[in-house]
């Protein structure tokens, strides 16, 4: 990793949920919390806790020099709303196939 750039991943116990247009896209009590220099915490949700049947694979991809190549999924009217790293770099192998969303709500209680 570049000098001064760090990524740490921890097993979270927060209850996180992603809702869009009244549909629950994800609901998990076991997200991975990814802390990356210069970014707010990102929740990576296990695929079993994501309503993947509601998502449409996108042709978009992106490359992160620290995590690898990301694939994206969309909803009608919401392009590239979700991403995952099918083959992440070894340093962040825990996030393999976990989904991350731009808008994730932490549910209290």
Per DSSP, the three-state class of 65 is coil
Report pLDDT digits (tens) over 35-47.
999 999 999 999 9
Sorted by where each begins, the domain ranges of the chain are: 7-107
pLDDT at 105: 76
**Domain 7-107: CATH architecture, name and number where available:** Beta Complex (2.170)
Task: Give yes or no for residue 2 having a pLDDT over 70.
Answer: no
Cβ atoms within 10 Å, residue 109: 3
* Residues 57-87: tens digit of each pLDDT: 999 999 999 999 999 999 988 899 999 999 9
Reported pTM: 0.91
Residues 6+ apart with CB under 8 A from 90: none
> Cβ atoms within 10 A of the Cβ of 80, count?
17
């Amino acid at each position: 990793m570049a000098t001064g750039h760090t990524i740490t991943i921890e097993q979270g116990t927060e209850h996180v949920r992603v809702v869009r247009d009244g549909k629950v896209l994800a609901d998990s009590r076991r997200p991975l919390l990814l802390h990356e220099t210069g970014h707010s915490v990102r929740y990576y949700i296990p695929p079993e806790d994501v309503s993947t049947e509601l998502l449409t694979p996108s042709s978009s991809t992106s490359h992160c020099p620290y995590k690898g190549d990301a694939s994206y999924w969309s909803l009608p009217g919401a392009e590239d709303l979700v991403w995952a790293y099918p083959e992440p770099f070894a340093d962040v192998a825990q996030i393999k196939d976990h989904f991350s969303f731009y808008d994730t709500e932490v549910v209290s209680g």
